Structure 1
Amino acid sequence: MRTNPTGRQLRFGTELRKLRERAGLSATEAGQLLGIRQTQVSNMEAGRVGVGAERLRTIARHYDCSDKALVEALAAMAPDRKRGWWEEYRELLSSGLLDLAEAEHHARSLRSTTTARIPGLLQTREYALEIFRQAVVELSPPDIEHRLSFRIKRQAVLFREENPTPYAATVHEAALRMKVGGPTIARQQLRHLLYMSERKHVTLRAISFDVGAYPGSGQSIYYLHGAVPQLDTIQLDQSHGATFVDAEAQLHKYRTLFDRIEAIALSPAKTRDLIHNVMRDL
Protein backbone atom coordinates (compact mmCIF):
# COMPACT_ATOMS: atom_id res chain seq x y z
CA MET A 1 0.00 0.00 0.00
CA ARG A 2 1.29 3.48 -0.86
CA THR A 3 2.00 5.73 2.10
CA ASN A 4 2.61 8.91 0.07
CA PRO A 5 0.66 8.84 -3.21
CA THR A 6 1.79 11.28 -5.88
CA GLY A 7 -0.49 14.02 -7.15
CA ARG A 8 -1.28 11.96 -10.24
CA GLN A 9 -2.18 8.92 -8.13
CA LEU A 10 -4.38 11.05 -5.90
CA ARG A 11 -6.11 12.51 -8.95
CA PHE A 12 -6.75 9.03 -10.34
CA GLY A 13 -8.35 8.06 -7.03
CA THR A 14 -10.45 11.22 -7.02
CA GLU A 15 -11.77 10.40 -10.49
CA LEU A 16 -12.69 6.89 -9.29
CA ARG A 17 -14.68 8.45 -6.47
CA LYS A 18 -16.44 10.78 -8.91
CA LEU A 19 -17.42 7.81 -11.09
CA ARG A 20 -18.87 6.05 -8.06
CA GLU A 21 -20.75 9.11 -6.86
CA ARG A 22 -22.23 9.71 -10.32
CA ALA A 23 -23.50 6.14 -10.18
CA GLY A 24 -25.26 6.99 -6.89
CA LEU A 25 -23.32 4.36 -4.95
CA SER A 26 -21.86 4.48 -1.46
CA ALA A 27 -18.41 2.99 -0.91
CA THR A 28 -20.04 0.02 0.79
CA GLU A 29 -22.43 -0.54 -2.11
CA ALA A 30 -19.58 -0.22 -4.60
CA GLY A 31 -17.58 -2.81 -2.68
CA GLN A 32 -20.49 -5.25 -2.75
CA LEU A 33 -20.90 -4.67 -6.48
CA LEU A 34 -17.20 -5.21 -7.15
CA GLY A 35 -16.81 -8.08 -4.72
CA ILE A 36 -14.30 -6.28 -2.50
CA ARG A 37 -14.35 -4.66 0.93
CA GLN A 38 -15.43 -1.09 1.48
CA THR A 39 -11.96 -0.32 2.84
CA GLN A 40 -10.40 -1.38 -0.46
CA VAL A 41 -12.74 0.95 -2.34
CA SER A 42 -11.70 3.78 -0.01
CA ASN A 43 -8.01 2.97 -0.43
CA MET A 44 -8.33 2.98 -4.23
CA GLU A 45 -10.08 6.34 -4.11
CA ALA A 46 -7.39 7.74 -1.80
CA GLY A 47 -4.64 6.69 -4.20
CA ARG A 48 -3.17 4.30 -1.65
CA VAL A 49 -3.85 1.20 -3.77
CA GLY A 50 -3.12 0.88 -7.46
CA VAL A 51 -5.70 -0.16 -10.05
CA GLY A 52 -4.77 -1.79 -13.35
CA ALA A 53 -6.21 -0.66 -16.69
CA GLU A 54 -8.50 -3.66 -17.11
CA ARG A 55 -9.69 -3.40 -13.52
CA LEU A 56 -10.47 0.25 -14.16
CA ARG A 57 -12.57 -0.66 -17.20
CA THR A 58 -14.41 -3.29 -15.12
CA ILE A 59 -15.13 -0.74 -12.41
CA ALA A 60 -16.41 1.74 -15.00
CA ARG A 61 -18.79 -0.89 -16.40
CA HIS A 62 -20.15 -1.65 -12.94
CA TYR A 63 -20.61 2.08 -12.39
CA ASP A 64 -22.49 2.36 -15.72
CA CYS A 65 -20.06 4.97 -17.04
CA SER A 66 -20.74 5.50 -20.74
CA ASP A 67 -18.05 8.16 -21.28
CA LYS A 68 -15.59 5.99 -23.25
CA ALA A 69 -13.07 8.79 -23.74
CA LEU A 70 -12.85 9.39 -19.99
CA VAL A 71 -12.62 5.69 -19.22
CA GLU A 72 -9.77 5.18 -21.69
CA ALA A 73 -7.96 8.25 -20.40
CA LEU A 74 -8.19 6.86 -16.86
CA ALA A 75 -7.10 3.43 -18.10
CA ALA A 76 -3.99 5.07 -19.57
CA MET A 77 -3.25 6.63 -16.16
CA ALA A 78 -3.78 3.40 -14.23
CA PRO A 79 -0.61 1.41 -14.98
CA ASP A 80 1.73 4.39 -14.73
CA ARG A 81 4.43 2.97 -12.41
CA LYS A 82 7.47 4.64 -13.96
CA ARG A 83 9.52 6.88 -11.74
CA GLY A 84 9.95 10.27 -13.36
CA TRP A 85 13.06 12.43 -13.18
CA TRP A 86 11.37 14.55 -10.50
CA GLU A 87 11.62 11.67 -8.00
CA GLU A 88 15.31 12.44 -7.46
CA TYR A 89 14.10 15.62 -5.72
CA ARG A 90 11.71 13.76 -3.39
CA GLU A 91 13.69 14.58 -0.23
CA LEU A 92 14.79 18.02 -1.42
CA LEU A 93 11.67 19.89 -2.56
CA SER A 94 8.01 20.07 -1.61
CA SER A 95 5.61 17.43 -2.90
CA GLY A 96 3.65 20.21 -4.61
CA LEU A 97 6.57 21.00 -6.90
CA LEU A 98 7.04 17.32 -7.73
CA ASP A 99 3.32 16.98 -8.47
CA LEU A 100 3.55 19.96 -10.81
CA ALA A 101 6.44 18.43 -12.77
CA GLU A 102 4.55 15.13 -13.01
CA ALA A 103 1.41 16.89 -14.24
CA GLU A 104 3.42 18.88 -16.82
CA HIS A 105 5.08 15.71 -18.06
CA HIS A 106 1.71 14.09 -18.81
CA ALA A 107 -0.20 17.20 -19.97
CA ARG A 108 -1.46 17.33 -23.57
CA SER A 109 -1.03 21.12 -23.66
CA LEU A 110 -0.32 24.03 -21.31
CA ARG A 111 -1.64 27.57 -20.84
CA SER A 112 -0.44 30.23 -18.43
CA THR A 113 -1.03 33.87 -17.62
CA THR A 114 1.26 36.00 -15.45
CA THR A 115 1.43 39.65 -14.48
CA ALA A 116 4.67 40.37 -12.63
CA ARG A 117 7.01 37.57 -13.73
CA ILE A 118 8.00 35.62 -16.78
CA PRO A 119 6.46 32.12 -16.48
CA GLY A 120 8.81 29.44 -15.15
CA LEU A 121 8.92 27.38 -18.34
CA LEU A 122 10.24 30.41 -20.23
CA GLN A 123 12.73 31.72 -17.68
CA THR A 124 16.47 31.77 -18.27
CA ARG A 125 18.73 30.30 -15.62
CA GLU A 126 19.97 33.76 -14.60
CA TYR A 127 16.45 35.21 -14.33
CA ALA A 128 15.22 32.24 -12.25
CA LEU A 129 18.27 32.49 -9.98
CA GLU A 130 17.45 36.13 -9.21
CA ILE A 131 13.82 35.21 -8.44
CA PHE A 132 14.92 32.51 -5.97
CA ARG A 133 17.40 34.91 -4.34
CA GLN A 134 14.52 37.29 -3.63
CA ALA A 135 12.33 34.72 -1.87
CA VAL A 136 10.58 36.14 1.20
CA VAL A 137 11.90 33.26 3.31
CA GLU A 138 15.60 33.33 2.49
CA LEU A 139 16.80 30.16 0.80
CA SER A 140 20.18 28.57 1.48
CA PRO A 141 22.60 28.21 -1.47
CA PRO A 142 21.88 24.43 -1.73
CA ASP A 143 18.12 25.07 -1.69
CA ILE A 144 18.50 27.66 -4.44
CA GLU A 145 20.54 25.26 -6.54
CA HIS A 146 17.97 22.48 -6.11
CA ARG A 147 15.11 24.76 -7.12
CA LEU A 148 17.07 26.16 -10.02
CA SER A 149 18.03 22.79 -11.49
CA PHE A 150 14.48 21.55 -10.96
CA ARG A 151 13.02 24.52 -12.84
CA ILE A 152 15.38 24.05 -15.78
CA LYS A 153 14.58 20.33 -15.97
CA ARG A 154 10.85 21.12 -16.04
CA GLN A 155 11.44 23.08 -19.24
CA ALA A 156 12.33 19.85 -21.04
CA VAL A 157 8.65 19.37 -21.94
CA LEU A 158 9.11 22.19 -24.46
CA PHE A 159 12.24 20.67 -26.01
CA ARG A 160 11.26 17.07 -26.66
CA GLU A 161 12.42 15.81 -30.03
CA GLU A 162 9.06 14.13 -30.55
CA ASN A 163 5.79 15.80 -29.61
CA PRO A 164 6.96 18.75 -27.49
CA THR A 165 4.10 19.99 -25.35
CA PRO A 166 2.10 22.84 -26.93
CA TYR A 167 2.32 25.90 -24.69
CA ALA A 168 0.36 29.17 -24.84
CA ALA A 169 1.67 31.85 -22.46
CA THR A 170 0.16 35.27 -21.87
CA VAL A 171 2.47 37.76 -20.14
CA HIS A 172 1.61 41.26 -18.99
CA GLU A 173 3.79 44.13 -20.22
CA ALA A 174 4.71 44.80 -16.59
CA ALA A 175 6.58 41.49 -16.45
CA LEU A 176 8.39 42.31 -19.68
CA ARG A 177 9.55 45.69 -18.38
CA MET A 178 10.57 44.56 -14.90
CA LYS A 179 14.39 44.66 -14.74
CA VAL A 180 14.85 41.44 -12.79
CA GLY A 181 18.57 41.09 -12.06
CA GLY A 182 19.40 44.34 -13.84
CA PRO A 183 19.45 45.38 -17.52
CA THR A 184 21.82 42.65 -18.71
CA ILE A 185 19.82 39.73 -17.27
CA ALA A 186 16.55 41.38 -18.27
CA ARG A 187 17.74 41.82 -21.87
CA GLN A 188 18.95 38.21 -21.98
CA GLN A 189 15.54 37.05 -20.73
CA LEU A 190 13.73 39.04 -23.42
CA ARG A 191 15.97 37.56 -26.12
CA HIS A 192 15.07 34.11 -24.82
CA LEU A 193 11.37 34.96 -25.03
CA LEU A 194 11.84 35.96 -28.67
CA TYR A 195 13.66 32.70 -29.36
CA MET A 196 10.97 30.60 -27.67
CA SER A 197 8.17 32.51 -29.41
CA GLU A 198 9.52 31.34 -32.77
CA ARG A 199 9.07 27.68 -31.87
CA LYS A 200 6.02 26.17 -33.57
CA HIS A 201 4.49 24.73 -30.41
CA VAL A 202 4.94 27.90 -28.30
CA THR A 203 2.48 30.79 -28.55
CA LEU A 204 3.46 33.94 -26.68
CA ARG A 205 1.04 36.84 -26.25
CA ALA A 206 1.48 40.04 -24.26
CA ILE A 207 -1.14 42.20 -22.58
CA SER A 208 -0.19 45.85 -23.01
CA PHE A 209 -0.60 48.57 -20.41
CA ASP A 210 -3.24 50.11 -22.70
CA VAL A 211 -5.70 47.33 -21.84
CA GLY A 212 -6.16 48.47 -18.25
CA ALA A 213 -8.14 46.16 -15.95
CA TYR A 214 -9.12 42.79 -17.36
CA PRO A 215 -10.48 39.44 -16.09
CA GLY A 216 -7.93 37.62 -13.97
CA SER A 217 -5.55 40.58 -13.75
CA GLY A 218 -3.13 40.24 -10.88
CA GLN A 219 -3.34 36.45 -10.85
CA SER A 220 -0.78 33.88 -11.90
CA ILE A 221 -2.71 30.96 -13.38
CA TYR A 222 -1.42 27.77 -14.94
CA TYR A 223 -3.77 25.48 -16.86
CA LEU A 224 -2.66 21.93 -17.66
CA HIS A 225 -4.81 20.11 -20.21
CA GLY A 226 -5.34 16.39 -19.66
CA ALA A 227 -6.29 13.71 -22.18
CA VAL A 228 -9.94 14.75 -21.74
CA PRO A 229 -11.33 18.00 -20.29
CA GLN A 230 -12.41 16.26 -17.05
CA LEU A 231 -8.75 15.51 -16.32
CA ASP A 232 -7.53 19.09 -16.69
CA THR A 233 -5.73 20.70 -13.75
CA ILE A 234 -5.29 24.30 -12.63
CA GLN A 235 -2.42 25.60 -10.54
CA LEU A 236 -2.90 28.89 -8.73
CA ASP A 237 -0.02 30.70 -7.03
CA GLN A 238 -1.04 31.76 -3.54
CA SER A 239 0.92 33.56 -0.81
CA HIS A 240 1.20 30.27 1.10
CA GLY A 241 2.23 28.28 -1.99
CA ALA A 242 0.71 26.67 -5.05
CA THR A 243 -2.84 25.32 -5.00
CA PHE A 244 -4.20 22.71 -7.41
CA VAL A 245 -7.83 22.87 -8.57
CA ASP A 246 -9.72 20.24 -10.57
CA ALA A 247 -13.43 20.67 -9.79
CA GLU A 248 -15.43 20.67 -13.03
CA ALA A 249 -17.09 24.03 -12.34
CA GLN A 250 -13.71 25.64 -11.69
CA LEU A 251 -12.18 24.06 -14.80
CA HIS A 252 -14.98 25.57 -16.91
CA LYS A 253 -14.55 28.95 -15.21
CA TYR A 254 -10.82 29.11 -15.89
CA ARG A 255 -11.11 27.85 -19.47
CA THR A 256 -13.48 30.75 -20.08
CA LEU A 257 -11.13 33.13 -18.29
CA PHE A 258 -8.19 32.11 -20.47
CA ASP A 259 -10.26 32.54 -23.61
CA ARG A 260 -11.13 36.09 -22.55
CA ILE A 261 -7.54 36.95 -21.58
CA GLU A 262 -6.12 35.65 -24.85
CA ALA A 263 -8.78 37.56 -26.80
CA ILE A 264 -7.60 40.92 -25.42
CA ALA A 265 -3.88 40.15 -25.68
CA LEU A 266 -1.63 41.24 -28.52
CA SER A 267 -1.07 38.85 -31.40
CA PRO A 268 2.18 36.83 -31.32
CA ALA A 269 3.66 39.11 -34.01
CA LYS A 270 2.75 42.31 -32.14
CA THR A 271 4.01 40.72 -28.93
CA ARG A 272 7.44 40.27 -30.53
CA ASP A 273 7.33 43.91 -31.64
CA LEU A 274 6.59 44.95 -28.06
CA ILE A 275 9.48 42.86 -26.74
CA HIS A 276 11.84 44.53 -29.22
CA ASN A 277 10.60 47.94 -28.05
CA VAL A 278 11.15 47.01 -24.39
CA MET A 279 14.69 45.85 -25.19
CA ARG A 280 15.46 49.19 -26.82
CA ASP A 281 14.25 50.95 -23.66
CA LEU A 282 16.60 49.04 -21.37
Structure 2
Amino acid sequence: MPNQRARPTLRRRRLGEQLAAKRVAAGISLETASKLMGWDKPTMSKVENARRHISTKEVDDLLGHYGVTDPAFIGAMAALARDAGKKGWWAGFGGVGDSYQDLLSVETDAEGVRFFSPHLIPGLLQRGAYARHVINASAITRSDEDKDALSRLRLARQSLLERSPNPLRLWAVIGEAALHQRFPDPDAMRDQLAYLLDVSHRKGITVQVMPLDSGGHPGLAGMFSIVNFPSPWPTLVHLENLRGGTFVEGTTDVTVFEEAFDQIVATAQSPDASRETIEKIMKEKHS
Protein backbone atom coordinates (compact mmCIF):
# COMPACT_ATOMS: atom_id res chain seq x y z
CA MET A 1 0.00 0.00 0.00
CA PRO A 2 1.59 3.35 -0.98
CA ASN A 3 2.56 5.78 1.78
CA GLN A 4 0.05 8.55 2.34
CA ARG A 5 1.19 12.09 2.95
CA ALA A 6 0.37 13.27 6.47
CA ARG A 7 -2.63 15.55 6.60
CA PRO A 8 -1.68 19.14 7.51
CA THR A 9 -2.80 20.23 10.96
CA LEU A 10 -6.00 22.23 11.28
CA ARG A 11 -4.00 25.24 12.47
CA ARG A 12 -1.81 25.16 9.36
CA ARG A 13 -4.86 24.78 7.12
CA ARG A 14 -6.59 27.74 8.79
CA LEU A 15 -3.46 29.84 8.42
CA GLY A 16 -3.19 29.04 4.73
CA GLU A 17 -6.86 29.82 4.17
CA GLN A 18 -6.59 33.18 5.92
CA LEU A 19 -3.45 34.19 4.02
CA ALA A 20 -5.09 33.27 0.72
CA ALA A 21 -8.22 35.24 1.65
CA LYS A 22 -6.20 38.36 2.51
CA ARG A 23 -4.26 38.08 -0.75
CA VAL A 24 -7.45 37.87 -2.77
CA ALA A 25 -9.01 40.76 -0.81
CA ALA A 26 -5.93 42.87 -1.62
CA GLY A 27 -6.32 42.11 -5.33
CA ILE A 28 -2.90 40.49 -5.54
CA SER A 29 -2.30 37.46 -7.74
CA LEU A 30 -0.50 34.33 -6.56
CA GLU A 31 2.37 35.11 -8.95
CA THR A 32 2.74 38.71 -7.72
CA ALA A 33 2.65 37.61 -4.07
CA SER A 34 5.37 35.06 -4.83
CA LYS A 35 7.61 37.74 -6.33
CA LEU A 36 7.02 40.09 -3.40
CA MET A 37 8.28 37.38 -1.07
CA GLY A 38 11.14 36.26 -3.31
CA TRP A 39 9.55 32.84 -3.77
CA ASP A 40 8.50 30.87 -6.80
CA LYS A 41 4.82 30.34 -7.48
CA PRO A 42 4.73 26.68 -6.30
CA THR A 43 6.13 27.74 -2.91
CA MET A 44 3.41 30.35 -2.49
CA SER A 45 0.79 27.79 -3.47
CA LYS A 46 2.13 25.32 -0.89
CA VAL A 47 1.87 27.95 1.84
CA GLU A 48 -1.78 28.64 1.05
CA ASN A 49 -2.53 24.93 0.77
CA ALA A 50 -0.88 24.18 4.12
CA ARG A 51 1.91 22.11 2.55
CA ARG A 52 4.80 24.34 3.58
CA HIS A 53 5.92 25.74 6.92
CA ILE A 54 5.89 29.52 7.15
CA SER A 55 7.71 31.49 9.85
CA THR A 56 6.19 34.26 11.95
CA LYS A 57 8.39 36.79 10.10
CA GLU A 58 7.19 35.53 6.74
CA VAL A 59 3.60 35.86 7.94
CA ASP A 60 4.30 39.43 9.04
CA ASP A 61 5.92 40.25 5.69
CA LEU A 62 3.08 38.73 3.68
CA LEU A 63 0.39 40.56 5.62
CA GLY A 64 2.37 43.77 5.19
CA HIS A 65 2.32 43.29 1.41
CA TYR A 66 -1.44 42.72 1.63
CA GLY A 67 -1.98 45.95 3.56
CA VAL A 68 -3.16 44.24 6.75
CA THR A 69 -2.54 46.45 9.78
CA ASP A 70 -4.86 45.05 12.47
CA PRO A 71 -2.48 44.01 15.30
CA ALA A 72 -4.93 41.46 16.71
CA PHE A 73 -5.21 39.69 13.36
CA ILE A 74 -1.46 39.82 12.73
CA GLY A 75 -0.84 38.41 16.21
CA ALA A 76 -3.34 35.61 15.68
CA MET A 77 -1.70 34.65 12.37
CA ALA A 78 1.75 34.71 13.96
CA ALA A 79 0.51 32.43 16.76
CA LEU A 80 -0.88 30.00 14.18
CA ALA A 81 2.43 29.98 12.31
CA ARG A 82 4.31 29.34 15.55
CA ASP A 83 2.07 26.48 16.66
CA ALA A 84 1.01 25.02 13.29
CA GLY A 85 3.47 22.15 13.31
CA LYS A 86 3.12 21.18 16.96
CA LYS A 87 1.66 17.82 17.83
CA GLY A 88 -1.58 18.01 19.75
CA TRP A 89 -1.83 16.77 23.34
CA TRP A 90 -3.79 13.78 21.98
CA ALA A 91 -0.84 12.46 19.93
CA GLY A 92 -0.15 9.67 22.43
CA PHE A 93 -3.61 8.15 22.08
CA GLY A 94 -4.42 5.59 19.42
CA GLY A 95 -7.45 5.44 17.14
CA VAL A 96 -7.72 9.20 16.57
CA GLY A 97 -8.94 9.84 13.01
CA ASP A 98 -8.51 13.06 11.06
CA SER A 99 -11.96 14.47 11.84
CA TYR A 100 -11.56 13.76 15.55
CA GLN A 101 -8.13 15.42 15.54
CA ASP A 102 -9.73 18.49 14.00
CA LEU A 103 -12.37 18.55 16.74
CA LEU A 104 -9.74 18.23 19.47
CA SER A 105 -7.72 21.04 17.91
CA VAL A 106 -10.80 23.25 17.70
CA GLU A 107 -11.73 22.59 21.34
CA THR A 108 -8.17 23.32 22.44
CA ASP A 109 -8.17 26.73 20.72
CA ALA A 110 -11.75 27.61 21.72
CA GLU A 111 -13.06 29.99 24.37
CA GLY A 112 -16.44 28.32 24.73
CA VAL A 113 -18.70 25.56 23.41
CA ARG A 114 -22.51 25.44 23.36
CA PHE A 115 -24.08 21.99 22.98
CA PHE A 116 -27.51 20.70 22.20
CA SER A 117 -27.53 16.95 22.77
CA PRO A 118 -30.95 15.27 22.83
CA HIS A 119 -29.93 11.66 23.45
CA LEU A 120 -26.47 11.70 25.04
CA ILE A 121 -24.50 13.50 27.73
CA PRO A 122 -21.97 15.59 25.71
CA GLY A 123 -18.47 14.11 25.52
CA LEU A 124 -16.91 16.93 27.55
CA LEU A 125 -19.20 16.00 30.46
CA GLN A 126 -19.04 12.19 30.29
CA ARG A 127 -17.60 10.03 33.06
CA GLY A 128 -15.55 6.85 32.66
CA ALA A 129 -18.10 4.03 32.71
CA TYR A 130 -20.72 6.04 30.84
CA ALA A 131 -18.18 7.07 28.18
CA ARG A 132 -17.07 3.49 27.67
CA HIS A 133 -20.64 2.24 27.24
CA VAL A 134 -21.33 4.98 24.66
CA ILE A 135 -18.11 4.30 22.75
CA ASN A 136 -18.71 0.53 22.75
CA ALA A 137 -22.16 1.10 21.28
CA SER A 138 -21.27 3.77 18.69
CA ALA A 139 -17.68 3.04 17.56
CA ILE A 140 -18.85 -0.01 15.63
CA THR A 141 -15.86 -0.12 13.25
CA ARG A 142 -13.19 0.17 15.98
CA SER A 143 -11.11 -2.50 17.70
CA ASP A 144 -11.26 -3.05 21.46
CA GLU A 145 -7.83 -1.42 21.71
CA ASP A 146 -9.07 1.68 19.88
CA LYS A 147 -12.15 1.82 22.08
CA ASP A 148 -9.98 1.76 25.20
CA ALA A 149 -7.87 4.63 23.83
CA LEU A 150 -10.94 6.64 22.83
CA SER A 151 -12.43 6.20 26.31
CA ARG A 152 -9.26 7.51 27.95
CA LEU A 153 -9.06 10.34 25.44
CA ARG A 154 -12.64 11.40 26.11
CA LEU A 155 -11.82 11.87 29.79
CA ALA A 156 -8.55 13.65 29.00
CA ARG A 157 -10.48 16.23 26.93
CA GLN A 158 -12.15 17.43 30.10
CA SER A 159 -8.91 19.00 31.37
CA LEU A 160 -9.89 21.93 29.12
CA LEU A 161 -12.63 22.76 31.62
CA GLU A 162 -9.97 23.34 34.30
CA ARG A 163 -7.13 24.83 32.28
CA SER A 164 -5.45 27.94 33.61
CA PRO A 165 -5.89 30.84 33.21
CA ASN A 166 -8.82 30.51 30.80
CA PRO A 167 -10.93 27.37 31.28
CA LEU A 168 -13.20 26.38 28.42
CA ARG A 169 -16.71 27.74 28.99
CA LEU A 170 -19.45 25.17 28.45
CA TRP A 171 -23.21 25.51 27.98
CA ALA A 172 -25.02 22.22 27.49
CA VAL A 173 -28.71 21.67 26.85
CA ILE A 174 -29.36 17.96 27.27
CA GLY A 175 -32.54 16.10 26.36
CA GLU A 176 -34.29 14.54 29.35
CA ALA A 177 -34.32 11.22 27.48
CA ALA A 178 -30.53 11.10 27.86
CA LEU A 179 -30.92 11.15 31.64
CA HIS A 180 -33.12 8.03 31.59
CA GLN A 181 -30.61 5.90 29.65
CA ARG A 182 -29.92 2.47 31.16
CA PHE A 183 -26.77 0.37 30.86
CA PRO A 184 -25.89 -3.17 32.02
CA ASP A 185 -23.80 -1.56 34.75
CA PRO A 186 -26.33 0.26 37.00
CA ASP A 187 -23.59 2.37 38.59
CA ALA A 188 -22.62 3.96 35.27
CA MET A 189 -25.71 6.15 34.95
CA ARG A 190 -25.91 6.99 38.65
CA ASP A 191 -22.29 8.17 38.67
CA GLN A 192 -22.84 10.09 35.45
CA LEU A 193 -25.86 11.94 36.81
CA ALA A 194 -24.04 12.73 40.05
CA TYR A 195 -21.15 14.18 38.08
CA LEU A 196 -23.50 16.19 35.86
CA LEU A 197 -25.15 17.62 38.97
CA ASP A 198 -21.75 18.50 40.44
CA VAL A 199 -20.34 20.29 37.38
CA SER A 200 -23.57 22.23 36.92
CA HIS A 201 -22.52 24.30 39.94
CA ARG A 202 -19.12 25.22 38.51
CA LYS A 203 -18.37 28.69 37.28
CA GLY A 204 -18.37 28.81 33.48
CA ILE A 205 -20.52 25.69 33.08
CA THR A 206 -24.27 25.86 32.45
CA VAL A 207 -26.44 22.74 32.25
CA GLN A 208 -30.08 22.79 31.17
CA VAL A 209 -32.49 19.92 30.64
CA MET A 210 -34.90 19.84 27.71
CA PRO A 211 -38.00 18.15 29.20
CA LEU A 212 -39.77 15.33 27.45
CA ASP A 213 -42.94 17.41 27.17
CA SER A 214 -41.22 20.49 25.72
CA GLY A 215 -43.12 20.35 22.44
CA GLY A 216 -41.56 21.76 19.27
CA HIS A 217 -38.17 23.48 19.12
CA PRO A 218 -35.30 23.69 16.57
CA GLY A 219 -33.33 20.97 18.36
CA LEU A 220 -35.70 18.36 16.96
CA ALA A 221 -33.46 18.45 13.89
CA GLY A 222 -30.62 16.84 15.88
CA MET A 223 -27.52 17.43 17.99
CA PHE A 224 -24.94 20.13 17.29
CA SER A 225 -22.31 22.21 19.03
CA ILE A 226 -21.29 25.84 18.50
CA VAL A 227 -17.63 26.67 19.10
CA ASN A 228 -16.47 30.22 19.87
CA PHE A 229 -12.88 31.47 19.61
CA PRO A 230 -10.95 34.56 20.63
CA SER A 231 -10.98 37.37 18.06
CA PRO A 232 -10.42 37.35 15.11
CA TRP A 233 -11.43 33.73 14.58
CA PRO A 234 -15.02 33.11 13.44
CA THR A 235 -17.46 30.82 15.21
CA LEU A 236 -17.82 27.24 13.94
CA VAL A 237 -20.57 24.64 14.23
CA HIS A 238 -19.74 20.96 14.67
CA LEU A 239 -22.10 18.18 13.58
CA GLU A 240 -21.42 14.59 14.70
CA ASN A 241 -22.24 11.31 13.00
CA LEU A 242 -21.13 7.67 13.06
CA ARG A 243 -18.23 8.39 10.71
CA GLY A 244 -16.83 11.29 12.72
CA GLY A 245 -17.97 14.85 12.28
CA THR A 246 -18.15 17.86 9.99
CA PHE A 247 -17.83 21.61 10.49
CA VAL A 248 -20.25 24.29 9.34
CA GLU A 249 -18.59 27.63 8.58
CA GLY A 250 -19.71 30.97 7.19
CA THR A 251 -21.62 33.71 8.97
CA THR A 252 -25.05 32.96 7.47
CA ASP A 253 -25.01 29.22 8.21
CA VAL A 254 -23.54 29.64 11.70
CA THR A 255 -26.12 32.30 12.58
CA VAL A 256 -28.92 29.80 11.91
CA PHE A 257 -27.50 27.49 14.57
CA GLU A 258 -26.91 30.33 17.04
CA GLU A 259 -30.52 31.47 16.69
CA ALA A 260 -31.68 27.86 17.05
CA PHE A 261 -29.64 27.46 20.24
CA ASP A 262 -31.18 30.62 21.69
CA GLN A 263 -34.65 29.17 21.08
CA ILE A 264 -33.58 25.84 22.58
CA VAL A 265 -32.28 27.60 25.71
CA ALA A 266 -35.55 29.51 26.05
CA THR A 267 -37.57 26.27 25.77
CA ALA A 268 -35.45 24.20 28.16
CA GLN A 269 -35.71 24.19 31.94
CA SER A 270 -33.74 26.83 33.82
CA PRO A 271 -30.42 25.71 35.36
CA ASP A 272 -32.00 25.47 38.83
CA ALA A 273 -35.02 23.53 37.56
CA SER A 274 -32.66 21.30 35.57
CA ARG A 275 -30.74 20.38 38.71
CA GLU A 276 -34.03 19.49 40.38
CA THR A 277 -34.88 17.22 37.43
CA ILE A 278 -31.51 15.47 37.61
CA GLU A 279 -31.88 14.96 41.37
CA LYS A 280 -35.41 13.60 40.94
CA ILE A 281 -34.30 11.06 38.33
CA MET A 282 -31.39 9.98 40.54
CA LYS A 283 -33.74 9.38 43.50
CA GLU A 284 -36.41 7.58 41.46
CA LYS A 285 -34.17 5.36 39.36
CA HIS A 286 -30.80 5.07 41.11
CA SER A 287 -31.39 5.21 44.86
TM-score, structure 1 length as denominator? 0.89
Partners of 2:223 and 2:99 in 1: how far apart? 16
Q: Is the CA contact 1:115–1:218 (under 8 Å) kept in the aligned structure 2?
A: no
Q: 1:257 aligns with which of 257, 260, 268?
A: 260
Segment of structure 1 superposing worse, 114-123 or 271-280: 271-280
> Secondary structure in 1 aligned to 2:255?
helix
Aligned match of 1:223 in 212, 222, 226? Answer: 226
Which residue in the other structure is 1:166 paired with?
169
Tell me the SS of whatever aligns to 2:227. strand
- Whether 1:53 and 2:37 are equivalent positions in the alignment is no
SS of the equivalent of 1:78 reads helix
2:80 is matched with which residue?
A: 77
Among 88, 92, 95, the alignment partner of 1:88 is: 92
Does 2:111 align with 1:108?
A: yes
What residue is the counterpart of 1:44 in the other structure?
Answer: 47
Is the partner of 2:218 in helix, strand or coil? coil
1:214 paired to 2:217:
yes
Counterpart for residue 27 of structure 2: 24
Deviation at 1:155, TM superposition (A): 1.0
- Superposed displacement of residue 261, structure 1: 2.2
CA distance in 2, matches of 1:67, 1:279: 52
In 2, the alpha carbon distance for the partners of 1:163 and 1:179 equals: 35
Q: How does 1:144-155 map to 2 (within 5 A)?
A: 144-155=147-158
1:198 is aligned to 2:214: no
Tell me the amino acid that sits aligned with residue 259 of structure 2. T
Instruction: Give 3-state SS (helix, strand or coil) of 1:21's partner.
Output: helix
Shift of 1:239: 4.0
Between the aligned partners of 1:131 and 1:105, the Cα distance in structure 2 is 23
- Contact kept, 8 Å, 2:238 with 2:246, in 1: the verdict is yes
d(CA) in 1 for partners of 2:79, 2:253: 24
> Structure 1's 186 and 229: CA in aligned 2 closer, same or farther, altered over 3 A?
farther
Preserved CA contact (<8 Å) 2:138 2:242: no
Letter in 2 for 1:152: L
Correspondence for 1:124: 127
Counterparts of 2:37 and 2:139 in 1: how far apart (Å)? 51
Secondary structure, in 3 states, of the residue corresponding to 2:230?
Answer: coil
- The verdict on how the C-alpha distance between 1:99 and 1:142 changes in structure 2, with shifts beyond 3 A counting, is same
Partner amino acid for 2:230?
A
Instruction: Give 2:179's aligned residue.
Output: 176
Cα distance, 1:25 vs structure 2: 3.2
Amino acid at match of 2:73: L
1:86·1:102 contact (CA, 8 Å) conserved in 2? Answer: no
Query: TM-score with structure 2 length normalisation?
Result: 0.88
What displacement does 1:49 show? 1.5
Deviations 1:220-271 (A, max 9, x none): 2122212225443322113432112333333333333323322322221111
Change (3 A) 1:8 1:240: same
**Paired residues, what number?**
280
Residues 23 and 64 in structure 1, CA contact (< 8 A), matched pair in contact too: yes
SS of match in other structure, 2:34: helix
Structure 1 residue 192 displacement after superposition: 0.6
Contact 1:96 1:242 in 2 (8 A): yes
- Please list the CA deviations of residues 106-133 of structure 1 after superposition, one character each: whole Å capped at 9, or x if unmatched: 2122221111100001001100111122
Question: Secondary structure in 2 aligned to 1:113?
Answer: strand
Supply the distance in 1 between the matched residues of 2:266 and 2:70 (Cα, whole angstroms): 31
Q: Which stretch of structure 1 is more off in the superposition, 58-67 or 94-103?
A: 58-67
Task: Write the deviation string for residues 84-118 of structure 1: whole angstroms up to 9, x where unpaired.
Answer: 321123x6321222222222112122221111100
Alignment partners' CA distance in 2, 1:16 and 1:171:
38
Structure 2 distance, partners of 1:168, 1:47, is 33
For the residues of structure 2 that align with 1:29 and 1:16, how far apart are their CA atoms? 14
Of stretches 267-276 and 238-247 in structure 1, the one that deviates more from structure 2 is: 238-247
Q: Which stretch has the larger CA shift, 124-133 or 48-57?
A: 48-57
Evaluate the alpha carbon distance shift between residue 231 and residue 180 of structure 1 in structure 2; reply closer, same or farther with a 3 A threshold.
farther
Structure 1: 5+ residue stretches without partners:
none
Q: Tell me, which stretches of 5 or more residues in structure 2 are unaligned?
A: none
